[in-house]
Structure 1
């Protein structure tokens, strides 16, 4: 599944266009490698997403073409979440 689609379906990022923009700016890594919006992701991959002042590391638990809001959070598990204090 494409990275931008996974981010939208899992609701890690609410809109696919936003997910695409974040990836194009180099703020998403898949298994330690900077990823593009079309990067293929699979179960077990680790995503590192930098949102402004916050960095989230999530592990993909399962994939699905679409998911209800209640099920979306089960598509990933949060490994760590931290604030970036070094940015002004």
Structure 2
């Protein structure tokens, strides 16, 4: 079980890195496709998958975008944006 947990978290980290590289390179259409895949996983995945997308992927990508002064609202699909807003509200309490 421990290897599975490490693997799924590592996969989410790698997925976030790929998304971030697409944004850096200016390949916004690819970044939007990757974000759409994450959105689909967040909406249809198992509870474990949803937690990983929320806690690893959304956090990593949104942190990266904020550091680069990218507009999150323009790129993030609806469910990912809602998850991002939940994270922002939770940290400001």
The answer to whether TM tops 0.5 is no
Shorter-chain TM range is under 0.3
Higher normalized contact order (CA 8 Å, seq sep 6+, divided by chain length): 2
Which structure is higher in strand share? 1
Normalised by the size of structure 2, how large is the TM-score? 0.22
